[in-house]
Structure 1
Amino acid sequence: MPLFVLPFPSIDPVLIAFGPFAIRWYALAYIAGLILGWWLAKRLCERDGLWGGKAAIPPEAFDDAVVWIAFGVILGGRIGYVLFYNLDYYLQNPIAALTVWHGGMSFHGGFLGSILAMALFCRRRGLPLLSMLDIAAAVVPIGLFFGRLANFINGELWGRTSDVPWAMVFPTGGPLPRHPSQLYEAGLEGLLMFLILMIAAKRGALARPGLIAGLFVFLYGCARITVEFVREPDPQLGYLYGDWLTMGMLLSLPMLALGASLMLRARSRPARSAAGA
């Protein structure tokens, strides 16, 4: 154990409680991510110059799309957790799958759920799916940033034991100091990815449908796999192979191929122009 260990900040996961009802930081993270993501997405849709002509997604269309996306994230995230991370338990306790307030969400499930929701919405409205995926992908890191901070406040999803100077002893992680892997993910999946995607958008990536979406998927796969090397795997699963392969890595590997495929496809086609739009 290192001589100096950073104390874990004692922050109550419940912000305000009214009798049996409680407002939790985790719920606020979802709300903040959706609201700020919706606001920024509309701003991007209003800037025709970023799209090589008139924006492919009208700003008012995103008002309805964000509701579909929210349901896709929540339902997909919960179903993904049940299927990918704790299927045996929920087969024996099916009612427990409905108790979302007890935690248990999968990013990869929410990712698939949001894509399905956007596909259905675009088909109904006659909007281009790749452009919708681009605009959603550009703002998703905002939600990831707040979500990982909420994981840290809750003292969950901590990292493996470590002797790095910034290691922390988490209340539910035993007596040994651990990597604050939630903060690593907030920095990589949130701040860094947000900056890269915004720079790409300002440099004309939205004019190539699928490019931003592909870049997001590829970068997330890289970031998640990197952090998984220092993140403690879920106890009910453990390591899938040796002492390094985790479910998070396994689910992220296809994202590298999908992201690269989307980017190559987008780059191989002509960019949108004012005349073409």
Structure 2
Amino acid sequence: MKKLSPKSQRIIILIDLISNGSQRKFSREVGCSHSVIAKIANGQQEAGKEILSRIAAITSVNQKWLETGFGEPLLFQPSEERFLIPISNALLPGLPSRHKALHTTQNLALPASIYQPTRYAIEAINCFQGEPMPAVILPQDLLIIETAITHWRSNLQVLEQKYAVILTHSAAGKLLKLELLTVKHKADELPLIYSVGNENPDQNLQDKNEKLRRRIELENRPSHQSKSRNQNQTENSYSEDLLIPIDVKQIAGTVIQLIRNY
């Protein structure tokens, strides 16, 4: 699979939000053949002006976001029917319907365009366990988290630069953390997902050994590299050392929307 362009990645996000990951259903919304949407989603072709114009014409789509990536993917329609999703006290390890004990007594009303029964909301302050909160997120912001992983398996690019609920293991058991993901690509290989964040002191021995192996690799790069490049590697070694391979099965949810002043 080729690396997708930013516009193609945004189209995949719309497929997820509007058609619950169904390319065939989305193609019907757009008014084009399923094969065209499939090729765009697989990186085999770019969306032309005609396709982009048809997608922008969908009532709930934010045209500015489709073109530039700024703003929210979908427009909230005041007249739209709304559905309730639970607000949770903590990050959930799976579907909200299976973890009702962790819900608060409150619910959040969502427009039909972004409602899915596999989604829940949580205040940002409950997501970062003793770690610094990103500057772009405020403590009282509500994060809407999608827990269905079916679509992620076939479209890993959807996870690029997304905050995700990561399930890790330690001596104390399973831990849930919200971390920023980046998708790295290698030639002729499938994309590799990495979790980029602060080191977790409770990580198990296997994780620590993996970090040590990576550090040794960085320290033993070929000596013929230029001095300036070695200096850059030294400066970046800390962040490179924190790149941890993440299996899609370890992702328990991704943030698909941030709501402020709810």
Q: What range describes the TM-score normalised by the shorter chain of this pair?
A: under 0.3
Larger helix share, 1 or 2: 1
TM-score, scaled to structure 2: 0.26
